[in-house]
Amino acid sequence: MKIAIEAQRIFREQKHGMDFVVLETIRALQLLDHSNEYFILVKTGEDRCLQETENFHIVEVSCPTYFLWEQVALPWSLKQIKPDLLHCTSNTAPLFCSCPLVLTLHDIIFLEKKQGGNRSIYQQLGRIYRRWVVPRILPECRLIITVSDYERNKMLNSLSLDPDTIVTIHNGLNPVFNPSCKDRAIVDKYIHEESYLFFLGNTDPKKNTLNTLKAYGIYLSRSTRKLPLLVADLDELVIDMMLSREGLSDIKSFIYYPGYIPNRDLPYLYSGAFVFLYPSLRESFGLPLLEAMASGVPVVTSSTSAIPEIAGDGALLIDPSDPEAIASMLLELEEDTHLYDEQVRYGLNRALTFSWEKTARQLLDNYNQIDQE
């Protein structure tokens, strides 16, 4: 087969969740499949994070906007390649496609009621685009892939989809995330404290940044250790606004906010943390919680959406809307060494059940099935 994979944003420097999912999946396919011919369609960028191999070709496509890239430039490139199958990997796809279409629909959050109003302009435009294009392309998909059974059930209940056309393929985990990944010089770029709490926050309401900061305030008022909080991907202006609104400005001196943290540095920050906080309100998978578990760090996470499916029965699951519950779990981990050590062991074992090789094998099985139809 000639397989085209849309991976538009993997060469951009500031990558996020879906970008890493497609990048790691392609890398695993490169190791696994030496028979099919692949064409990886990307937007030109500075981070050359993927290399060509004998049967994997990188096709760089230039276009000024996401919409035009996907709806004009991508179809034009496909006419030159003439693939047997196109896999679009990040929720959306061209409205007109001349070959069988596989779509990875990570979630349908964009169809749900908005949680809060502090989205960036980029996030708002992305939501509008997805709400417009996804209902139009779903009937054209030969196969829809999603990343958790929770999300698959949400889609079946919310959309008019044939159950046979939608499958769950869990994301994997890069072995670079492990307890031995230690480098104090890298950690010192972001925080100088020996021990700290770690939180990946941003302006998306589902990340639950406000309740996390409230919980941290409660934690500081009761803890004897008062560990600092490292917050990634959130600038000072947003933090100041949230703290001021909640009367929590006095805790700012305990918070470190270096902004975007490159993925190459995350393994060191996970393994150096005392606890990883992941009290998200809504996730289709929740890759960071697995990365932290694999790094030997206890995780305080949510009892909502797909998170229990990924974190497993032994995880520390709390109500993410309750700052008191988040703070209480932090304090319990701080005071109970048996619970702490138990969670380290549990997380390491849980992380072993996920791999990008497993993800790629399941994906390849589905590609082959489509080819045989």
Q: Where does residue 81 rank: exposed (0-12), middle (13-18), buried (19+ CB within 10 A)?
A: middle
Dist CA 251 CA 218 (whole Å) = 10
State the average pLDDT over residues 19-32: 97
Hey, where are the domains in the chain? 2-172+355-372, 184-351
* Beta-carbon contacts of residue 76 (< 8 Å; ≥ 6 apart): none
Q: What's the confidence (pLDDT) of residue 18?
A: 93
pLDDT band at 119, cuts 50/70/90? low
The CATH class of the 2-172+355-372 domain is: alpha beta
Q: Is the pLDDT of residue 117 over 80?
A: no
Amino acid letter at 44? Answer: T
Q: What's the confidence (pLDDT) of residue 354?
A: 98
Write the pLDDT tens digit of every residue in 309-326: 999 999 999 999 999 999
pLDDT band at 205, cuts 50/70/90? confident
Which long-range contacts (C-beta less than 8 Å, at least 24 apart) are formed by 250-255? 251/213, 251/216, 251/217, 251/220, 254/216, 254/220, 254/226, 254/228, 254/229, 255/216, 255/228, 255/229, 255/231
Q: Is the pLDDT of residue 265 over 90?
A: yes
Q: Is the pLDDT of residue 115 over 80?
A: no
Q: Is the pLDDT of residue 139 over 60?
A: yes
pTM: 0.92
**Arithmetic mean of pLDDT over the chain:** 94
Q: What residues form DSSP beta bridges with 57? A: 39
pLDDT band at 109, cuts 50/70/90? confident
What is the H or E stretch that residue 199 is in? strand 197-200
Which residue in the block uniquely carries the two structure tokens 């996804």?
A: 134
- Of 333, 353, 140, 306, nearest in space to 223 by CA: 333
Considering the domain delimited by 184-351, tell me its CATH architecture: 3-Layer(aba) Sandwich (3.40)
Q: What's the confidence (pLDDT) of residue 278?
A: 98
Write the pLDDT tens digit of every residue in 275-334: 999 999 999 999 999 999 999 999 999 999 999 999 999 999 999 999 999 999 999 999
Dist CA 309 CA 168 (whole Å) = 12
Dist CA 371 CA 211 (whole Å) = 48
Q: Is the pLDDT of residue 111 over 90?
A: no
Write the pLDDT tens digit of every residue in 218-228: 999 999 999 99
φ/ψ of 281, rounded to 5, equals -80, -30
Q: Is the pLDDT of residue 134 over 70?
A: yes
Q: What's the confidence (pLDDT) of residue 209?
A: 94
